[in-house]
Structure 1
């Protein structure tokens, strides 16, 4: 059987082995990576000031993306020793193992990284802070990007937990995305599977499909990292073959495995 190719529309992990590559290589897949988005860190001076001067005001911090941890990493070395120690003593609520690893590399305590989605993370936060909430009002510092969704803040508001947000990164599609996809197909191979990691990835899928049709390659099967991304793709007319139960490499691999009996490619 021909070795299948899987295109992951994300940046490959740099500081440690990429778990998606690890899991899919075990299945004898050839892994290809094309990042879809560009991220620009912003308001770092404001972040540094807040972390230094308001650490006593917060019961913990929330970082739900690797880019938010990137921003935290930029300012962490320059924080006052006293402020650092206060944050080390407080939980940092995260979603996903990759983000959790980055948080722990800073010496901070990651909580909730196996929750898998905003709703479960919200439940974890409420449970973790239950005793504190009975004694005094609870505030959390939430490091966000410009595309953040409202689900988690809404849950916290209903639980009388105040979330103070600070914008630490902005996101946009790569300017060279079309060239990157075409180069990958030309220099490597056309994919049998493509994995979409966010609703923004649907625009990369548009480019990919157009390029594959133009070159008369087969249509790949689609895997989505979660239900939100899957719904967005379906709303735009795409057929999704596999959806990860949680947004991590293991559950994505299992979802793809369950769909393997469909074969690899489909007709246009």
Structure 2
């Protein structure tokens, strides 16, 4: 809804096509949370996606109040302001943000590479740290690789699996860009690009060849470029306002 309101206010007529669907998997996460950070010597949690927050939220009901309290004060390392906002909203008074308790330390960066920089800089070689890394099945290698190379112990838990939305092909068949070349195709993840291109026969090619292309961030833009597509606008931060700023800036110039 926020995308629709913001884009319409700038004179665009958005149409949303769900490309990806998610399967949330809490089976591996629940036992970790039930054991607690002290038992496992966990000193922080890395969260890189809102989907991992959904899995966390779904796991809370299986925890006792004592188990929830055990995680109070654990530092959180998060990619994206939107993900941080969801953590604070979805887990308020449930996990990490319990009533009458001090708020946890939260480090938020715009990109995974920036979070890796932060963790590498703060690592103390004389005190090995153990981080819990909540990730999806499509996560990139840079963050976990650099964190391990810096001396951290990393326990990675897959919290969700990304798959193609069952209605994707039909949605693309029924929508066509205008012949003027003024339309935009906006992509939000490398996996979304791959799922669109995997359709056979490919009803999606027209959206990649007959429109201007925008990407939510550098990772998605780089993936599109590696496939031979020109990216006309890239959000400097993964947010609605920054994405629309990039699109408007291109159209005006």
Shorter-chain TM-score bucket reads 0.7 to 0.9
SS of the residue 1:88 aligns to: coil
SS of the residue 1:149 aligns to: coil
Partner residue, 2:118: 124
**Distance verdict in 2 for CA 1:251–1:123, change over 3 Å:** same
Of residues 80-89 and 97-106 in structure 1, the stretch that sits farther from structure 2 once superposed is 80-89
Instruction: Give the C-alpha shift of residue 140 in structure 1.
Output: 0.8
- Give the Cα–Cα distance (whole angstroms) in 1 for the partners of residues 142 and 16 of structure 2: 29
Consecutive unaligned residues in structure 2, runs of 5 or more: 97-103
Report the count of equivalent residues. 232
Instruction: Give the C-alpha shift of residue 184 in structure 1.
Output: 4.8
Partner residue, 1:52: 34
Partner residue, 2:52: 68
Contact 1:103 1:110 in 2 (8 A): no
Consecutive unaligned residues in structure 1, runs of 5 or more: 1-16, 214-218, 263-268
Match of 1:31 among 11, 14, 28: 14
Partner residue, 1:143: 134
Instruction: Give the C-alpha shift of residue 208 in structure 1.
Output: 3.1
Partner residue, 1:94: 78
- Give the Cα–Cα distance (whole angstroms) in 2 for the partners of residues 246 and 210 of structure 1: 27
Instruction: Give the C-alpha shift of residue 153 in structure 1.
Output: 0.8
**Distance verdict in 2 for CA 1:255–1:231, change over 3 Å:** same
Matched, 1:209 2:205: yes
Instruction: Give the C-alpha shift of residue 119 in structure 1.
Output: 0.9
Structure 1 length-normalised TM: 0.76
SS of the residue 1:38 aligns to: strand
Matches within 5 A, 1:134-213: 136-185=127-176, 192-203=183-194, 204=196, 207-210=203-206
Structure 2 length-normalised TM: 0.81
SS of the residue 2:27 aligns to: helix
